[in-house]
């Protein structure tokens, strides 16, 4: 990290496909040492995939990577590290060993590789080297502390220190600021500036526009697995970045609706969940579909869980039809008439080892009992068959195990079980995630149908076209709070995205 | 080509599934046939009743354990709870001269307190069930020991002040520990818990919690309430088991219940596979206990050393676990 001669990293014609998906198509990307390069794009644009290719995490791409004009072979993480390309992933905990000290974590790779043939560890020297590295980076973390006792920001620093302890010409930071507070972000930025001065090239992935303008010199924008623009960031106004990110609009696959809005059916005031949700107040009219817009990590899922009583640390006032509702746990929310279709359906929404009927009747099992105790399989079968028919679930029978259904059909099960419950308020958290186009359309129609029956709908999604296609009104979230309320008919993708990225439109 | 391959794979899969579903029952029938052929008096009425009588205590305790497994828990303290119940019920008779109904009621009530303690620790502190109940297993074993001062409690025992204990254990109580009553009690427990887990709403909720606690919570199920109920049922049945031990031996020996733990665990895990259920279930647990009972009884009749039985039981448990986890992974 000492040479001041500028190195040039080039990725040329990179393409990569995963079963069923083409993730990157012919992407060119260039970065220079001593500069910070912003990489931005909507969710699923391919930023992280491109960087994983560069870090050697995916070996099966086509295209070339060259440093200073010479082709280099990068197919494994080891290849990348030998070329001086280091990456700090967003999930810092996966790369750290919590029950070891800061020193051991920083020197991890050295301990693994440089101790070949030796068996004794020279702790004194190890701690001295770790301390040196931290000092160079102006990071004040003692080397003897266990990593599990660090804050998230400190863990990130440790990972950066580890990257820098090795040969490091290019450092990829994958959404490093998403979980950080303002002051922690400032500390990270001064570290980035320091590294720039030391001649390291930083590639900085983020969703937050203002940050990119503060810290970066160049920018590359991606969309749908392709490069759409790259330039010096000073010559690219925010508005233009947003336009590039959005590109062409999707075709209208959304159902026609004539919303009939009733009185306010659901209201939540001052919802808080420390570190996740920051004083959010929302209301939904009967028959209204209210969107919850915002990028990944903006706090949409956390708000949905807080409203549903699924977070023990959440607080706030919730009322349904004007009557206050005490929700401390999900079973109270369900009893009160709320329904949540969670984002992580496999983990949170369905019982994969059980039958379709078992899943569909889970929420309102009492309806399918005699004397409120004894299960009635005949009733369960009838109700399940009805839901399977009305949602078009592709399953051999209601006895089939949910494990054997496709992702889209599993999602229909996760939604279908709430249809039997006949709730008043439906909260959908990314309901079309990982679902194919046909099933998406079914889900939109279902949501519209529920609204036409006078239900209150809260629809959280980071897909801008969905927000415009299905909602009547929306709240845009950024960094745990609602930053703006928009009426769908009077807004556009640019505006939503600008607020989602924390940009300011006056 | 590809179709042929997958067809072949399917066939192999079906064979494993068949053995998974019916293997335990086939095994029991095979063992009976083998032992019947090799010994003169295995297939007699008295042997069969003997086996059923022998497995009843294990089965009752294992059924309680099964309920705790159904909610994704693991109550390792069932053996100690049985020891406590055993000591309590005998001491109520011998030390306090209480009637049979009252003695049993007091013993079971205190077992419910044990269940409450387990449930509180597991639910409140979110400690892994197996670790927490490993700790309480020792605690309650110690409670039983302390309560009896490390001595066997029996009729006419010498009290610390030098007198003889005057309480009497009723003859009727002893009949609970003999056939046919001991077998009837076991069958009733199996039947009730089987109906409860399979055919009631509450049983279904417990399986939901065991299958995916997060999804169960978000489906509006009061997870804590049902986990508490499961630990109460587990402790209650362990208490019933302890009382039956007392009725069989007519005294309270030190740690009389502890030895039933491992067999109960084995029976419950063998039960996972019975009829392809894939989860803890009462009928399966009963079949598991029968398998262990037939195996040990037959081996003893073939004059295999009594001391080697733990090897056999442990081996059966290891096999049951291997099959259950192999299937989960494939």
Residue by residue, DSSP assigns A114-163 as TTTT-----HHHHHHHHHHHHHHTT----TTSBGGGS-HHHHHHHHHHHH
Q: Does the CB of A330 have a partner CB in chain B at under 8 Å? A: yes
How far apart are the C-alpha atoms of B159 and B138, rounded to whole Å? Answer: 26
Q: What is the pLDDT of residue A279?
A: 93
Residue B207 forms contact with A (CB below 8 Å): yes
Closest listed residue to residue A472, CA positions, set A245, A294, A284, A312:
A284
User: What are the chain B neighbours of A362 within 8 Å (beta carbons)?
Assistant: 208, 215-216, 219, 221
Option in A362, A366, A369 nearest B219 (CB): A362
Judging contacts by C-beta atoms under 8 Å, the chain A residues touching residue B205 are 365
Whether the CB of A427 is below 8 Å from some CB of chain B: the reply is: no
Sheet with A425-429, edge to edge strand ranges: A338-341, A425-429, A456-460, A289-293, A473-478, A481-487
For residue A329, which residues of chain B lie inside 8 Å, CB to CB? 217, 222
Distance from CA of B123 to the nearest CA of A (A): 14
Put simply, whether A334 touches B (Cβ < 8 Å) is: yes
* CA gap A213, A45 in Å, rounded: 20
The answer to whether A70 and A120 have CB atoms below 8 angstroms apart is no
A353:B218 CB<8 A: no
The span from the CA of A240 to the CA of A247, in Å, is 11
For residue A330, give the nearest of B202, B217, B279 by CB distance.
B217
Whether B215 and A349 lie within 8 Å, measured CB to CB: yes
Give the pLDDT of residue B170: 92
Q: What is the pLDDT along chain A (506 residues), one digit of tens a residue?
A: 444 578 899 999 999 987 656 789 999 999 999 999 999 987 668 888 899 999 999 988 999 999 998 999 999 998 998 899 999 987 788 889 999 999 999 988 887 777 777 778 888 888 999 999 898 888 888 999 999 888 888 898 899 999 888 888 999 998 888 777 777 888 889 989 999 998 999 999 987 788 889 899 999 999 888 899 999 999 988 888 888 887 654 455 688 888 888 899 999 999 999 988 999 999 999 999 999 998 877 899 999 999 999 999 999 999 998 899 999 999 999 999 999 999 888 788 899 889 999 999 999 898 899 888 899 999 999 999 999 988 888 888 889 999 888 777 888 899 899 988 889 999 999 888 767 666 778 889 889 999 999 999 999 998 888 888 899 999 999 989 999 999 999 998 888 988 988 876 54
- Global pTM reads 0.80
What span, in angstroms and rounded, lies between the C-alpha atoms of B99 and A392? 64
Query: Which of B201, B211, B217 has its CB closest to that of A353?
Result: B211
pLDDT at A4: 57
Q: Is A259 on the interface with B (CB under 8 A)?
A: no
Residue B207 in tokens: 């399986």
How many Cβ atoms sit within 10 Å of the Cβ of residue A282?
A: 18
- Interior angle at CA A135, CA A131 and CA A141, nearest 5: 65
Evaluate the omega torsion of the peptide bond into residue B180 and state whether it is cis, within 30 degrees of 0. yes
pLDDT at position A248, please?
54
Using the structure block, give the residue that is written with the tokens 């986890």.
Answer: B325
The number of helix segments (H) and strand segments (E) in chain B equals 13, 0
Predicted ipTM beyond 0.85: no
**CB crowding A40-62: b at 16 or more within 10 Å, else e:** bbbbbbbbbbbbbbbbbbbeebe
B304: helix, strand or coil: coil
Instruction: Write out the DSSP string of B54-85.
Output: HHHHHHHHHHHHHHHHHTT---TTHHHHHHHH
Please name the residues in contact with B242: beta carbons below 8 A apart, sequence gap of 6 or more: B81, B82, B83, B84, B85, B86, B88, B89, B107, B111, B256, B257
Cβ contact A330–B220 (<8 Å) = yes
Say which residue the tokens 């099959």 belong to: B323
Q: What is the pLDDT of residue A347?
A: 83
Cα A365 to Cα A368: distance, rounded to the nearest angstrom? 5
DSSP B162: S
pLDDT less than 70: residues of chain B: 1-13
Put simply, whether B202 touches A (Cβ < 8 Å) is: yes
Tell if the CB–CB gap between B215 and A417 is shorter than 8 Å: no
Q: Could you tell me if B50 lies within 8 Å of chain A, comparing CB atoms? A: no
Q: Measure the CA angle with vertex B284, ends B282 and B287; round to 5°.
A: 115
Point out the residue among B204, B215, B222 whose CB comes nearest to the CB of A365: B204
Apex A153 CA angle, A150 and A155, nearest 5: 50
């Amino acid at each position: 990290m000492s040479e001041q001669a500028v190195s040039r990293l080039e990725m040329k014609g990179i393409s990569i496909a995963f079963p069923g998906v083409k993730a990157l198509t012919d992407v060119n990307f260039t970065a220079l040492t001593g500069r910070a390069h912003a990489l931005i794009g909507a969710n699923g644009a391919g930023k992280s995939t491109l960087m994983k290719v560069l870090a050697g995490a995916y070996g099966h791409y086509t295209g070339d990577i060259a440093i200073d004009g010479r082709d280099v072979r990068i197919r494994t993480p080891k290849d990348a590290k030998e070329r001086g390309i280091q990456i700090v992933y967003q999930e810092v905990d996966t790369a750290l060993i919590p029950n070891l000290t800061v020193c051991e974590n920083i020197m991890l790779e050295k301990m693994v590789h440089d101790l070949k043939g030796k068996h004794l560890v020279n702790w004194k020297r190890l701690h001295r080297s770790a301390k040196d590295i931290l000092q160079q980076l102006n990071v004040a973390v003692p080397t003897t502390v266990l990593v599990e006792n660090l804050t998230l920001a400190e863990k990130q620093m440790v990972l950066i220190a580890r990257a820098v302890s090795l040969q490091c010409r290019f450092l990829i930071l994958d959404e490093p600021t998403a979980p950080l507070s303002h002051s922690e972000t400032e500390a990270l930025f001064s570290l980035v500036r320091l590294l720039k001065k030391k001649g390291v090239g930083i590639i900085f992935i983020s969703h937050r526009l203002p940050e990119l303008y503060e810290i970066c010199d160049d920018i590359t924008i991606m969309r749908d697995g392709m490069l759409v623009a790259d330039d010096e960031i000073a010559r690219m106004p925010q508005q233009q970045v947003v336009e590039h990110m959005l590109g062409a609009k999707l075709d209208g696959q959304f159902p026609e609706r004539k919303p009939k809005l009733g009185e306010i059916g659901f209201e939540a005031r001052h919802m808080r969940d420390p570190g996740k949700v920051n004083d959010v107040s929302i209301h939904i009219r009967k028959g209204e579909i209210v969107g919850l817009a915002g990028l990944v990590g903006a706090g949409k899922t956390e708000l949905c869980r807080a409203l549903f009583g699924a977070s023990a640390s959440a607080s706030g006032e919730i009322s349904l039809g004007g009557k206050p509702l005490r929700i401390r746990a999900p079973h109270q929310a369900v009893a009160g008439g709320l329904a949540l279709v969670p984002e992580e359906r496999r983990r949170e929404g369905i019982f994969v080892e059980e039958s379709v009927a078992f899943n569909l009747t889970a929420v309102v099992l009492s309806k399918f009992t005699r004397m409120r105790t004894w299960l009635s399989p005949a009733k369960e079968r009838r109700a399940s068959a009805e839901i399977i028919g009305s949602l078009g679930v592709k399953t051999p029978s209601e006895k089939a195990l949910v494990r054997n259904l496709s992702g889209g059909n599993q999602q229909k099960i996760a939604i279908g079980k709430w249809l039997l419950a006949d709730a008043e308020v439906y909260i959908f958290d990314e309901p079309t995630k990982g679902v194919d186009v046909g099933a998406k359309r079914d889900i939109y129609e279902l949501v519209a149908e529920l609204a036409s029956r006078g239900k209150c709908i809260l629809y959280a999604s980071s897909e801008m076209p969905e927000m415009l296609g299905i909602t009547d009104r929306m709240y845009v979230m950024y960094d745990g709070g609602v930053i703006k309320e928009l009426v769908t008919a009077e807004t556009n993708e640019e505006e939503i995205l600008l607020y989602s990225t924390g940009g300011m439109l006056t | 080509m590809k179709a042929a391959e997958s067809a072949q794979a399917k066939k192999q899969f079906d064979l494993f599934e068949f053995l998974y579903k019916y293997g335990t029952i086939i095994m029991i029938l095979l063992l009976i046939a083998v032992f019947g052929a090799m010994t003169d008096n295995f297939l007699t009425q008295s042997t069969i009743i003997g086996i059923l009588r022998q497995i009843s205590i294990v089965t009752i305790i294992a059924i309680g354990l099964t309920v705790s497994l159904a909610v994704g828990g693991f109550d390792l303290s069932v053996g100690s709870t049985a020891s406590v119940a055993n000591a309590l019920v005998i001491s109520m008779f011998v030390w306090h001269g209480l009637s049979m109904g009252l003695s049993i009621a007091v013993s079971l009530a205190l077992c419910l307190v044990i269940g409450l303690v387990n449930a509180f620790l597991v639910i409140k502190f979110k400690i892994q069930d197996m670790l927490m109940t490993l700790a309480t297993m020792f605690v309650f074993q110690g409670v039983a020991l302390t309560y009896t001062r490390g001595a066997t409690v029996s009729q006419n025992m010498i009290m610390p002040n030098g007198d003889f204990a005057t309480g009497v254990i009723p003859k009727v109580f002893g009949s609970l520990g003999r056939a046919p009553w001991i077998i009837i009690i076991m069958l009733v427990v199996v039947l009730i818990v089987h109906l409860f887990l399979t055919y009631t709403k509450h049983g279904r909720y417990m399986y939901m919690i065991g299958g995916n606690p997060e999804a169960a919570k978000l489906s509006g199920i009061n997870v804590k309430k049902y986990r508490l109920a499961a630990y109460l049922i587990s402790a209650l049945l362990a208490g019933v088991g302890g009382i039956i031990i007392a009725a069989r031996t007519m005294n309270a020996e030190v740690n009389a219940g502890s030895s039933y733990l491992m067999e109960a665990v084995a029976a419950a895990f063998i039960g996972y596979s019975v009829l392809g259920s894939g989860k803890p279930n009462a009928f399966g647990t009963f079949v598991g206990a029968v398998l262990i009972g037939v195996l040990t009884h037959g081996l003893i009749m073939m004059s295999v050393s009594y001391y080697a039985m733990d090897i056999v039981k442990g081996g059966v448990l290891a096999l049951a676990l291997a099959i259950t986890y192999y299937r989960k992974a494939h």
